[in-house]
A and B are shown apart, each in its own frame.
Chain A
Amino acid sequence: MRAVVVALVLAVLVVVAATPAEAHRLRVFATVESGVIEGYAFFVGGGRPEGAAVRFVRAGELVHATTTDAAGAFAWRPEETGPLTVVVDPGGGHTAEVTLGAERFGAAPAGEATPAPASQAASPDALDPKIEAAIEAAVARQIRPLLEAQAAAESRIRFNDVMGGIGMIVGLAGVGLWARTRTRARDDG
């Protein structure tokens, strides 16, 4: 009986301790603003890796490599837009990656906008490429905090998951005890 009470107290303490916690795990946040890929790597439990290798991979091919700065951040302006994957590897067993889809690149950056084809310029519905790029940049700037908050929220440990895990362990113990009892009953009988 005493053992059960001790076990219950321990379990409750563990759950209370674990609730506000976050896992030790590497994550990457990356966004595209005006054609520049920028972002940072972060350990979910706190801390950002400095000097970690950052690889930009497109269709399985390494297109650019750099390292993170003191704040764990990186930035690179790709020559051509298109979906790519950012892989951060600080060594020591943690790696993380994030894939930026084609939709994240949008229109060409304003500074380097190529002259619009004559047919498009002539169409009354077409926006000036500069306006389009400005809209892209404004939207990217405004949704960035949302994306950052979402990346942080996604990696937060949820109370339900912790409880579910503990429940699974208790269930496994129950299954084990049941199996032992059956074995013993068969041996006795």
Chain B
Amino acid sequence: MHLQDGVLSAPVLAGGAVLAAAGVGWGLRRLDEAAIPRTAVLAAAFFALSLVAIPLGPTSVHLVLGGLMGLVLGAHALPAVAAALVLQAALFGFGGLASLGVNTVILAGPPVLVAAVARPLVVRAAPPLAAMAAGTAAAASVALSASLMAAALRLSDVAYAPAAPLVIATNVPLMGIEAVVTASIVGFLLKARPDLLGRSAEVRP
């Protein structure tokens, strides 16, 4: 899910950087004191978990927890992902600084959008249904991220067009894994900390 430097064309990199800067600025403006620790914890989780590669046939995938970040953080997912990506690029050469903007848009954009759609259901539905909605949102977020990545490659160079189905195909198993992981984490949060998901404390059983 991390595009490396030297793959994308300059206009795509610039476009991604502008979009990411706007998104991160928007997310930061809405970051209040209560949200900062929560954002930092999820940024740390994303930073560390997306370093854990799961071997899968000729390649490997890693968790991104986009759905969870979108549901818990909302717009704050943008600065969280951006900070974690800066550190991954600086410490591990994962992704790159030039492609930071594009990677932020690819990884943090879909969670924010998908969570905005799924949140009403996660907030109001009965816990099992809410967890399922969260899992579905996570899968949709991965699918959207993969599509954005394929689009970024396609826009950069038409020669990458054949890679698009490959990018989406390798992410199909990740959709399932993310859905299960996110649904179980949300299931736990619904019992332990429903307020993190925007549910009022009275809902607590």
Tell me the residues in window 49-83 of chain B with beta carbons closer than 8 Å to chain A beta carbons.
49, 51-62, 83
Complex Cα gap A131–B140 (Å): 63
Please name all residues of chain A whose beta carbon is closer than 8 Å to the beta carbon of B62 when the two chains form the complex: 24, 45
| A126 sits at the interface (CB 8 A) | no
Tell me the residues in window 29-59 of chain B with beta carbons closer than 8 Å to chain A beta carbons.
31-33, 36-41, 43-45, 47-49, 51-59
> A93 and B4: CB pair below 8 A?
yes
Give the secondary structure class of A's interface.
helix
Complex Cα gap A95–B32 (Å): 40
With known contacts A169-B43, A173-B40, A177-B36, A93–B7 Cβ distance under 8 A: yes
Tell me the residues in window 152-198 of chain B with beta carbons closer than 8 Å to chain A beta carbons.
153, 160, 162-163, 166-167, 170, 192-193
| A101 sits at the interface (CB 8 A) | no
Quick check: which of A9-17, A74-82, A139-147 contacts chain B, the rest being far away?
A9-17
Residue of B nearest to A96 (CB): B4
With known contacts A11-B41, A169-B47, A92–B53 Cβ distance under 8 A: no
> B33 and A180: CB pair below 8 A?
yes
> B53 and A43: CB pair below 8 A?
yes
| A57 sits at the interface (CB 8 A) | no
| B144 sits at the interface (CB 8 A) | no
Residue of A nearest to B102 (CB): A93
Complex Cα gap A10–B4 (Å): 29
With known contacts A3-B193, A49-B59, A170-B44, A176–B36 Cβ distance under 8 A: yes
With known contacts A7-B41, A18-B48, A169–B84 Cβ distance under 8 A: yes
Of A24, A161, A173, the residue contacting B53 (CB under 8 A) is A24
Quick check: which of B89-97, B117-125, B126-134 contacts chain A, the rest being far away?
B89-97
